[in-house]
Chains A and B, each alone.
Chain A
Amino acid sequence: DQQVKQNSPSLSVQEGRISILNCDYTNSMFDYFLWYKKYPAEGPTFLISISSIKDKNEDGRFTVFLNKSAKHLSLHIVPSQPGDSAVYFCAASALNYGQNFVFGPGTRLSVLP
C-alpha cells in the first residue's frame, strides 16, 4: 500500500508559467516532508522541506504548501524554467523514523521553451 502518492506521472508547463506538483499521503504520523528533483544518472537534489507545524515554506522560486487535514502537499515553482525539467519526488517521515523517508513514485516535469 503506497503511503505517499504522486498521482500525476508527468506534467508539461510553458516556460515562465507556474508548475504545481502534488503529493498525497495516508499516514497521519508523517510530520516532516521533503521535495527533491532528480536528473537521469544523478542522485536526488534537495529542494525544500516543510514540517507539520507550518502550512507553507518558501525558498526562492519554490514554495511548498501543506494541508494536514487533507494529507496533501504541493510544490509550486514560479516562474518555471527549462532547467527545471526533471523528475520530482516528495518524501515523508515521522518522529522516531530517523532518516527513514517514504518516497512517492515521482512526477516528470517538462518545461517547454
Chain B
Amino acid sequence: KAGVTQTPRYLIKTRGQQVTLSCSPISGHRSVSWYQQTPGQGLQFLFEYFSETQRNKGNFPGRFSGRQFSNSRSEMNVSTLELGDSALYLCASSPGSVSGNTIYFGEGSWLTVV
C-alpha cells in the first residue's frame, strides 16, 4: 500500500512570496494533519483536516492555511513568507477516528525562504 506522498520535496522561495504544498494520504485514510519541524521548535502541529473540514488547529498565524479535497488529498498554503518559515513541513495521515489513531508521515517538503 502506498504511503503518504508529499510534493514538492524541496523548494526555495523569496521572502514575501506564497507557497502551496501538497499531500496525498494513505489510501482509505480520511484525516490529514500537517506539522512543521524546525531545529529550534521541534515538531509542531499546524492543523488537521477530516472530511474536507478543519478539525483541529495549532498555534500558528493566519498566514498558514490548508484545505482538503473530497478524495482526502490536502494542500497547505503559507502566504507572505518570512525567513522563519524555513522548515521541514510534514504531512501525516490516519484513518480519522477522534482519538487513538496512529499517524503516518510522508517524507516532508523542505522549504527554504531567502
Contact = CB atoms under 8 A, between A and B. Distances in A.
Interface in B31-78: 31, 33, 35, 42-45, 48, 50, 55-56, 58
A32 B100 contact: yes
A102 B107 contact: no
A101 B107 contact: no
B42 A106 contact: yes
A33 B88 CA distance: 23
Given A98-B31, A103-B42, A93 B108 contact: no
A99 B90 CA distance: 13
B48 A100 contact: yes
Nearest to B58: A100
Nearest to B47: A100
Contact of B102 (A34, A42, A94): A34
A15 interface: no
Interface of B: 4, 6, 31, 33, 35, 42-45, 48, 50, 55-56, 58, 90, 92, 94, 98-108, 110
Nearest to A99: B33
B3 to A, nearest CB: 9
Contacts of B108: 42-43
A97 B107 contact: no
Interface stretch (A16-24, A44-52, A60-68, A74-82): A44-52
B11 to A, nearest CB: 15
25 contacts: A31-B99, A31-B100, A34-B103, A42-B107, A43-B4, A43-B108, A44-B90, A46-B104, A46-B105, A51-B100, A95-B98, A96-B99, A98-B33, A99-B45, A99-B48, A99-B55, A99-B56, A99-B94, A99-B103, A100-B48, A100-B56, A101-B45, A102-B45, A103-B35, A106-B42
